[in-house]
Amino acid sequence: MKLTEEIRNFKAEAISEAGAAELREAARDARVWAVAATSAAKSGHPAGALSSMDIYITLLGAANVSPELADSPERDRIVVSHGHTSAGFYAALAEYGFFPAHEMAANFRRAGSPYQGHVERCVPGVDWGTGNLGQGLAAGVGFALAARARGSNYHTWVVMGDGEQVKGQLAEARRIAMKEKLTNLTAIVDWNDIQISGRLEEVMPADIPALWAADGWRVIKCRGHDCCEIYKALKEAKNSAVPAVVLCKTTMGKGVSFMEDVADYHGKPAAGEKLEQALKELGSDVSLFDALLEERKGAMPKGRSVTHEKPVLCTGRPHTYTKEDKKDNRWAFGRTLAEVGELNYKKPGSTPILVFDCDLAGSVRVDGFAKACPENFIEAGIQEHATATAAGAASAAGVVSVWADFGVFGSDEVYNQQRLNDINRAGVKTVLTHTGLDVGEDGMTHQCIDYVGLFANTYGWNVVVPADPNQTDRATRWMLAQPGNICLAMGRSPLPVILDEKGEPFYGGDYEFRDGKIDLLRGGKDAVVLAMGHLAGRAVEAAEALAEEGISVKVLHCATPLTMDKERLFAEVGDMPLVSCEDHNAQTGIGNIAAAAFARAGKALKIKSMGVTRYGLSGRNTDVLADMGLCAEGIAAAVREILK
Amino acid sequence: MKLTEEIRNFKAEAISEAGAAELREAARDARVWAVAATSAAKSGHPAGALSSMDIYITLLGAANVSPELADSPERDRIVVSHGHTSAGFYAALAEYGFFPAHEMAANFRRAGSPYQGHVERCVPGVDWGTGNLGQGLAAGVGFALAARARGSNYHTWVVMGDGEQVKGQLAEARRIAMKEKLTNLTAIVDWNDIQISGRLEEVMPADIPALWAADGWRVIKCRGHDCCEIYKALKEAKNSAVPAVVLCKTTMGKGVSFMEDVADYHGKPAAGEKLEQALKELGSDVSLFDALLEERKGAMPKGRSVTHEKPVLCTGRPHTYTKEDKKDNRWAFGRTLAEVGELNYKKPGSTPILVFDCDLAGSVRVDGFAKACPENFIEAGIQEHATATAAGAASAAGVVSVWADFGVFGSDEVYNQQRLNDINRAGVKTVLTHTGLDVGEDGMTHQCIDYVGLFANTYGWNVVVPADPNQTDRATRWMLAQPGNICLAMGRSPLPVILDEKGEPFYGGDYEFRDGKIDLLRGGKDAVVLAMGHLAGRAVEAAEALAEEGISVKVLHCATPLTMDKERLFAEVGDMPLVSCEDHNAQTGIGNIAAAAFARAGKALKIKSMGVTRYGLSGRNTDVLADMGLCAEGIAAAVREILK
């Protein structure tokens, strides 16, 4: 389009008459493809797509985006939070040449096609896959924070529906943006006043302008089908001295008479005569649709491949803690994080490290980093949902994004946000402290005994559970420089350094952290104990006690339960009885992974899975653990029992 | 206390001078026990306990609560949302005779004691266990809705901290309360302006009065250490024509000079000289503390036992769908729910059924219930977090609480809320529709392929995955009349009725749903297929196709993977090869449960776990399922392969 020369990067004061005509024509054409796409798929959300269309066409014309920039780190970011308007956003992208409109329309929601039901990153021009409502603004916050940390001038735009305005996570994101003064972020609401079940007032009343204003945002209103007004409002918002939201008054189903202002076509495409009428009203005809149906039988188009890049970081030299040191793992993590942070802070060529906290900096030991790298520390308050998504999106925009929190907040509370980070192939490093019964006095609600069981449901997350401060130091350095989503899980209490049979630190010196590796802590020939995390030290203690009784126990530790080297496990265990132990639900942690692996390999042996079998007590961590049998004596008893 | 006669149930217009003196003395005494308790435990949150103390003392004096009423369905409900102020709330309860103060203080946070670190229901007077912030108001909404549904006049009080005011779930709850005109609910905020990391303004700025006002709540302010003012404000709030919040301006650590207005004692008890000073300032001395340490070595006190009661319901007669019917499971669920709803609606003696929806009534098929029982249908908008907690709390207050939503919203998005429902021994019936790849075109973000893997991490949840509309009908009736938390999971698409070998509906007629049962759909002697949910029909189809090739396959279905009868499984499978199949993550569903069970029983056999092994495509459900091998032909191929 010629138009882009006029308004691209908001150059023009206002849109010219010729420009407006061009945008209107583009919007009309895109409406044809959006309607046709949903009808070809017999599935999708035509009315919402039509509602947001003029916003999409204007924004894509004026923002710093283009097919050539689709993978550029300096492009503006656009998050479509109401991902079900995919047909509309795809059609608008096609108008700007991101891909052919007919290809999109013919293959929309076709199994194997990149043009999926909700916007996904495999489509060029889509920066964040959405579909679960209310989460887009938090992703936008992440992109905006990444821009600032990288010293990049790109702007982030978040387009939302109105029904999702009541979702709590959205308000959390609004507050983080305000606190961080993210004037490089603009929110846009398609306010058509209809959601699936009817008018907003009937479904869940909310004073949308008041909600934004209560959090300090500047509220700008405009007519959402008038490109000139939209442009003016977006430009004003972009230049605002405080974060601004543009509320666009729109009509659901705009452009197709029988879809206008009715909830019925929210999730129902037009068919038959209705489709003919819709295409006619939009200035097209059904021959276009017939051609699409033909193309839909043809070759499958390919999408963009999305990967998470390995950061460029200097990770420094590990410390070796000796047996005299009695530090908790989180202390070691915090020290290492602060060191690596300082080594790379504002260093040209280094990927910036952003650290997020939810009002627990001292407990989760990110206070050292905050001191060393103050501009890269984000205090997000008690707002875990928005933080999880923001940290995820930031990691997809060229920073190393670390979020540390108590286990139940960083995994249980935000499981779905972490699942969506997985789907988006983000690379957030989630650091869980206070996991397990080791949380002690805080009791049931704070017992994070399911993080392995949760992340096991995803396809990309890795979980790292170090055994002692030495392994924590090395695992932290390893994690920070890895691509992809990784969870580092630690307990609360000080731990003895694990020693090898010569009395030297097992994970000290030249020990290098390796994903999937099983560590042989002690040799033995009567039984095997497979431990995870802080149970490793207790397992060694049990083995030493059993040795005095003449029972020879091999002790294995694996810090990465989800990627554990199964062949090595089979080789180490042989046909000895196996006791697994972990400060984690016994049904869903490393014991379960090991048991299922043996079963699937067709191997029978005696197995006992020790772990948490009910919610634990509230008291001293050693008492709470011992009550569950998770102590050296408990492990020794289990070994004696399995050898009977 | 005499005082209760004066202000109990807010009888008095205002507190008399004598009454005020009595309350102040009670608050002083309770402060002693709260401080002593945290110091005895060397753990806990003294400063927050002191901050909320005058609120607790006044509220417990004026609300309709007492030790005698602690288990009465008609008592007022008090939710302490900032559960870490437990020592304060417990001490206040002790002042009113709920239990001896010294017993609480001596056994606070002692492993095995009911006086846990965060408030838990095993302590008489605690109506909802909390600890994860921002969730108490939603619980209060649930209690208030239950009161209305039961025609009960009790009032619900929710006391919150100020740091948690920014949590999104809280705003969601605020809106549900407003929409439902819950004037039987009062919110109270302990506004001391300090959270763990410092002043609210520094950690996460929020205009607290503006946030409440934006959602339409009446905002009442008072001085939060003045019992007379608190009483007046609470009375005004209770009588308000719209839901009201009382913002109490308080001082963190009130009553102990060195704790006042500093963040340091948020989570740190006083010790040594500081403790002596604190006790002295509060008008006590260290001899009290020494006695507590002695008592702490003694016998462990017992807590209240909390169970979820079996509802009283007429569940009607099941329908039998024939092979000509091709209905989806959610349709059968919706029909049954509406029927059972109508049978019991406003019937004396029947437990009321409350149904919650998050803007998906038509899709999740609760629209029939909404029509039949309009007053018991709660449209909560796109606010899943608050809904999950509200539905949970309502179920703990004498109603059958049903919440239906798409799978990803009812499980993934609210996993932690469901975990807390488990900890609270609630009895919410969560109905998931659109689970699995069967969701079709909606794509990755909507693929709920982890619900078994999620709920497997809890200790109380049961999961029911019916195979066809007949089993759905019977499972729904069974579930509604059961105590405890139960998840009913269904796909999206119409399913053929499963027939027995004579061609009659397998789950029709007199078939009775039984928890844990394994159903023998087809006999066979070469291999076993264990199916879950809609894969059952496809497994039967595969068995019939294989029979023609001379391969005899036994087909088993188990609708309750978490309680599956393992002995029966071992007996049915024997040493035949086993193929499991499910529209669920292959690593965390029924196949994993079966594999781990065989391993733990020391049995070796050939096992193949079919299921979802990566995020699925976006397209026609049959295409998406077939792409993952989850079709009759895929199952048959797996059986052939395992028999090689």
CB proximity B416 to A under 8 Å = yes
Three-class SS state of B580:
strand
How far A283 CA sits from the closest chain B CA (Å)?
A: 28
CB proximity A604 to B under 8 Å = yes
Residues contacting A216, CB < 8 A, separation 6+: A178, A242, A243, B205, B207
What's residue A5's pLDDT? Answer: 81
- Residues of chain A with Cβ-Cβ distance to B215 below 8 Å are 206-207, 211
- Residues of chain B with Cβ-Cβ distance to A264 below 8 Å are none
Share of chain B above pLDDT 70, in %: 99
User: Across the interface, do B117 and A618 touch by the CB < 8 Å criterion?
Assistant: yes
d(C-alpha A536, C-alpha A632), whole Å: 10
CB proximity A606 to B under 8 Å = yes
Share of chain A above pLDDT 90, in %: 98
CB proximity A449 to B under 8 Å = yes
Tokens of B241: 């024509």
B 483-522 → A contacts, CB under 8 A = none
B 336-365 → A contacts, CB under 8 A = 357, 359-363
CB proximity A599 to B under 8 Å = yes
Using CB atoms, pick whichever of A116, A134, A197 lies closest to residue B379. A197
Residues in chain A: 644
A400 has which bridge partners? A353
Instruction: Give residue-wise pLDDT tens across range A418-471.
Output: 999 999 999 999 999 999 999 999 999 999 999 999 999 999 999 999 999 999
Asked if residue B3 has pLDDT above 70, the reply is no
Instruction: Give residue-wise pLDDT tens across range B172-215.
Output: 999 999 999 999 999 999 999 999 999 999 999 999 999 999 99
Read off φ and ψ for residue B221, nearest 5 degrees.
Answer: -110, 150
- Residues of chain A with Cβ-Cβ distance to B408 below 8 Å are 132, 416
Q: Where does A327-495 sit in CATH, by number?
A: 3.40.50.970
A 198-217 → B contacts, CB under 8 A = 202-207, 210-211, 213-216
User: Across the interface, do B111 and A618 touch by the CB < 8 Å criterion?
Assistant: yes
Q: Which CATH superfamily is domain B17-295 in?
A: Thiamin diphosphate (ThDP)-binding fold, Pyr/PP domains (3.40.50.970)
Cα dist. A186→A63, A83, A173, A206, A623 in Å? 11, 18, 12, 21, 52
* Cα A406 from chain centroid (whole Å): 17
Using CB atoms, pick whichever of A459, A614, A627 lies closest to residue B459. A614
d(C-alpha A105, C-alpha A92), whole Å: 12
Instruction: Give residue-wise pLDDT tens across range B377-427.
Output: 999 999 999 999 999 999 999 999 999 999 999 999 999 999 999 999 999
d(C-alpha B83, C-alpha B502), whole Å: 58
d(C-alpha B590, C-alpha B582), whole Å: 7
Our CA angle for A26, A31, A32, nearest 5°, is 100
What's residue A302's pLDDT? Answer: 96
- Residues of chain A with Cβ-Cβ distance to B357 below 8 Å are 197
User: Across the interface, do B413 and A409 touch by the CB < 8 Å criterion?
Assistant: no
Using CB atoms, pick whichever of B359, B380, B441 lies closest to residue A195. B359
What's residue A4's pLDDT? Answer: 64
B 167-196 → A contacts, CB under 8 A = 167-172, 175-176, 178-179, 195-196
What's residue B5's pLDDT? Answer: 81
Report helix, strand and coil shares of chain A as percent, to nearest 5: 45, 15, 40
How far B320 CA sits from the closest chain A CA (Å)?
A: 31
Tokens of B584: 């669920």
- CB neighbours of residue B150 within 10 Å: 18
Using CB atoms, pick whichever of A175, A203, A607 lies closest to residue B381. A203
Amino acid at B338: A
For B108, name the nearest residue in chain A, comparing CA atoms only: A619
User: Across the interface, do B596 and A600 touch by the CB < 8 Å criterion?
Assistant: no
CB proximity A592 to B under 8 Å = yes
* Cα B207 from chain centroid (whole Å): 29
d(C-alpha B361, C-alpha B4), whole Å: 46
What's residue B2's pLDDT? Answer: 57
- What is the average pLDDT across B28-57? 98
How far A633 CA sits from the closest chain B CA (Å)?
A: 18
Asked if residue B601 has pLDDT above 80, the reply is yes
Question: How does the average pLDDT of chain A come out, rounded?
Answer: 97
CB A422 within 8 A of CB A459: yes
- Selected residue of B416, B432, B615 to mutate for chain A interface (largest A Cβ count, 10 A): B416
**Cα–Cα nearest to A506, from A474, A478, A528, A529:** A474
User: Across the interface, do A445 and B605 touch by the CB < 8 Å criterion?
Assistant: no
B 274-333 → A contacts, CB under 8 A = none
For A613, name the nearest residue in chain B, comparing CA atoms only: B459
CB proximity A603 to B under 8 Å = yes
Helices and strands (DSSP H and E) totals, chain B = 25, 20
CB proximity B73 to A under 8 Å = no
Q: DSSP states of A571-597 as a string?
A: HHHTTS-EEEEEEEETTTSHHHHHHHH
Q: What does DSSP assign to residue A264? A: G
- What is the average pLDDT across A7-12? 95
What's residue A3's pLDDT? Answer: 59
d(C-alpha B336, C-alpha B333), whole Å: 5
User: Across the interface, do A415 and B415 touch by the CB < 8 Å criterion?
Assistant: yes
What's residue B92's pLDDT? Answer: 98
d(C-alpha A247, C-alpha A236), whole Å: 13
User: Across the interface, do A112 and B617 touch by the CB < 8 Å criterion?
Assistant: yes
How far B25 CA sits from the closest chain A CA (Å)?
A: 30
CB proximity A620 to B under 8 Å = yes
CATH 3.40.50.300 fits B518-643, yes or no: no
Q: Where are the domains of chain B?
A: 17-295, 327-495, 518-643
Instruction: Give residue-wise pLDDT tens across range A37-78.
Output: 999 999 999 999 999 999 999 999 999 999 999 999 999 999
* Cα B514 from chain centroid (whole Å): 24
Using CB atoms, pick whichever of B166, B604, B606 lies closest to residue A172. B166
What's residue B460's pLDDT? Answer: 98
- What is the average pLDDT across B606-611? 98
How far A281 CA sits from the closest chain B CA (Å)?
A: 27
User: Across the interface, do A383 and B166 touch by the CB < 8 Å criterion?
Assistant: yes
Asked if residue A2 has pLDDT above 80, the reply is no
Alpha carbon distance, N-terminus to C-terminus of chain A: 80
A 98-157 → B contacts, CB under 8 A = 109-113, 116-118, 120, 129-134
User: Across the interface, do B213 and A211 touch by the CB < 8 Å criterion?
Assistant: no
CB proximity B431 to A under 8 Å = no
Instruction: Give residue-wise pLDDT tens across range B432-473.
Output: 999 999 999 999 999 999 999 999 999 999 999 999 999 999
CB proximity A615 to B under 8 Å = yes
The domains spanning B17-295 and B518-643 adopt the same CATH topology: yes
How far A413 CA sits from the closest chain B CA (Å)?
A: 5
Instruction: Give residue-wise pLDDT tens across range A510-525.
Output: 999 999 999 999 999 9
d(C-alpha B160, C-alpha B469), whole Å: 44
